[in-house]
């Protein structure tokens, strides 16, 4: 059987969905698939085009009659053109709104066609966007019109069923990590730069949106630094950053917190940490926690969502409620006080991440899904 020709659409900026979609495309290309990325800009993890990778930028012309550029319509046109010229077999879109909507329009314009639409749900398209009253019927319609739907966790599949009354056929294919990229620290010089006095390093990495609950990170760190020699590394940027900076100053923590900004090569900085803290209000999966585990970093993650599907509390990380600042601080403190215990947990975390959620294992599931459509 020939390998399918696949179009992938995702949000190109930092975020778990864009990371997964891009890494999926790169691995598919290595397996011999021809992959066309159809996005508004070059995905940040797409560092080079490479063999079998083609990037198509969605042009968004300005029309005086529109108050803003009609992105969904421009995307649908681009999908139509790429599918027609390159004989796409599959449009694999990440996020139902607006990407599945554009794929549906493109397929309708191509009729008659054998083009298949696969929608991968990542979380906020269901838990936030899809539940907006104005988007609810559209999201349900698009899920039903997709030829296949995947969710990144069992939690998200359950949420989709409960919210929309659809989804029995949704296939759970989890996020994955490339252990060749995300691995324990080899060169200690970078760690020494952030911890010149041998301090332990606590890290948070996100897009600093309200759902990431970053103020809780600062509150946990404030408790920890009173009893432990520890520093905090904040990686990323977003709308909550000014408030986070203000809170750090208010608590008098400026000298022990480093703001590293947006980092496109997270695999270079993540391994320096001892602990990753992700106290989100909810996480459908929590990809950065899985990447941390592959680096031998102990994750402390929200218990709300799908992280419990790869984190075994007390074994390869910790799960705590997003408001449980004291509980998170106590969990982190328990391994800062016992380095041997931390190292055992870190080794278990890496083994579990790379064995059960390694790229090759998850890739097989996607390829089997593609084959089932033909």
> What structural domains does the chain harbor?
5-176+358-372 (3.40.50.2000), 189-356 (3.40.50.2000)
pLDDT tens digits, 50-64: 789 999 999 887 766
pLDDT tens digits, 231-249: 999 999 999 999 999 999 9
Query: What does the alpha-carbon distance between residue 283 and residue 226 come to, in Å, rounded to a whole number?
Result: 29
State yes or no: cis peptide before 112, omega within 30 of 0.
yes
Question: Cα dist. 299→187, 197, 277, 291, 360 in Å?
Answer: 21, 23, 6, 10, 23
pLDDT band at residue 317 using 50, 70 and 90 as cut-offs: very high
Instruction: Give the per-residue pLDDT at 1.
Output: 61
pLDDT at 48 over 70: no
- 8 A C-beta contact, residue 146 and residue 373: no
Instruction: Give the per-residue pLDDT at 49.
Output: 64
pLDDT at 125 over 80: no
Q: DSSP letters along 316-371, please? A: TBEEE-TT-HHHHHHHHHHHHS-HHHHHHHHHHHHHHHHHHSBHHHHHHHHHHHHH
pLDDT band at residue 134 using 50, 70 and 90 as cut-offs: confident
- The highest-confidence range among 20-29, 79-88, 122-131, by mean pLDDT, is 79-88
Average pLDDT of 151-158?
A: 93
pLDDT tens digits, 6-19: 999 999 876 778 88
Q: How far apart are the first and last CA of the chain?
A: 10
pLDDT tens digits, 165-182: 886 789 999 999 999 999
Least reliable range by pLDDT among 65-69, 193-197, 221-225: 65-69
**What share of the chain has pLDDT > 70, as a percent?**
95
Residue that has been written with the tokens 């992959």 in this structure: 35
- 8 A C-beta contact, residue 278 and residue 299: yes
Query: What does the alpha-carbon distance between residue 5 and residue 90 come to, in Å, rounded to a whole number?
Result: 7
pLDDT band at residue 212 using 50, 70 and 90 as cut-offs: very high
pLDDT band at residue 110 using 50, 70 and 90 as cut-offs: very high
Residue 66: Cβ within 10 Å count:
10
- 8 A C-beta contact, residue 137 and residue 106: no
pLDDT tens digits, 327-363: 999 999 999 989 999 999 999 999 999 988 999 889 9
pLDDT band at residue 67 using 50, 70 and 90 as cut-offs: low
Residue that has been written with the tokens 């066609």 in this structure: 113
Instruction: Give the per-residue pLDDT at 310.
Output: 96
Query: What does the alpha-carbon distance between residue 328 and residue 300 come to, in Å, rounded to a whole number?
Result: 7
């Amino acid at each position: 059987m020939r390998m399918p020709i696949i179009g992938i659409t995702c949000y190109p900026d930092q975020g778990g969905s864009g990371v997964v979609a891009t890494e999926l495309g790169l691995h598919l290309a290595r397996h011999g698939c021809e992959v066309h990325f159809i996005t508004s800009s070059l995905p940040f993890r797409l560092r080079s085009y490479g063999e079998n990778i083609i990037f198509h930028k969605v042009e968004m012309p300005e029309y005086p009659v529109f108050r803003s550029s009609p992105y969904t319509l421009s995307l649908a046109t681009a999908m139509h053109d790429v599918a027609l010229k390159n004989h796409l077999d599959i449009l694999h879109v990440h996020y139902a709104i607006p990407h599945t909507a554009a794929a549906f329009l493109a397929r309708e314009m191509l009729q008659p066609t054998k083009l298949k639409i696969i929608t991968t749900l990542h979380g906020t398209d269901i838990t936030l966007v899809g539940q907006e009253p104005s988007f609810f019927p559209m999201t349900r319609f698009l899920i039903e019109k997709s030829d296949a739907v995947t969710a990144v966790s069992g939690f998200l599949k359950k949420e989709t069923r409960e919210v929309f009354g659809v989804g029995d056929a949704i296939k759970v294919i989890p996020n994955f990590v490339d252990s060749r990229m995300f691995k324990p620290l080899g060169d200690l010089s970078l760690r020494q730069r952030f911890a010149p006095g041998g301090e332990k390093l606590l890290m948070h990495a996100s897009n600093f949106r309200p759902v990431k609950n970053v103020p809780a990170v600062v509150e946990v760190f404030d408790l920890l630094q009173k009893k432990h020699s520890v520093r905090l590394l904040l990686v990323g940027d977003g709308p909550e950053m000014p408030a986070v900076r203000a809170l750090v100053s208010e608590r008098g923590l400026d000298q022990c917190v480093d703001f590293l900004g947006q980092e496109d090569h997270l695999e270079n900085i993540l391994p320096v940490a001892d602990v990753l803290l992700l106290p989100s209000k909810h996480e459908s999966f929590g990809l950065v926690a899985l990447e941390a585990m592959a680096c031998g970093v102990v994750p402390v993650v929200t218990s709300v969502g799908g992280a419990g599907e790869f984190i075994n509390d007390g074994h390869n990380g910790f799960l705590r409620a997003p408001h449980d600042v004291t509980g998170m601080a106590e969990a982190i403190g328990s391994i800062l006080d016992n380095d041997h215990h931390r190292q055992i947990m870190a080794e278990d975390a890496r083994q579990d991440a790379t064995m059960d959620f390694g790229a090759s294992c998850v890739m097989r599931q996607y390829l089997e899904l593609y084959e089932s459509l033909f």
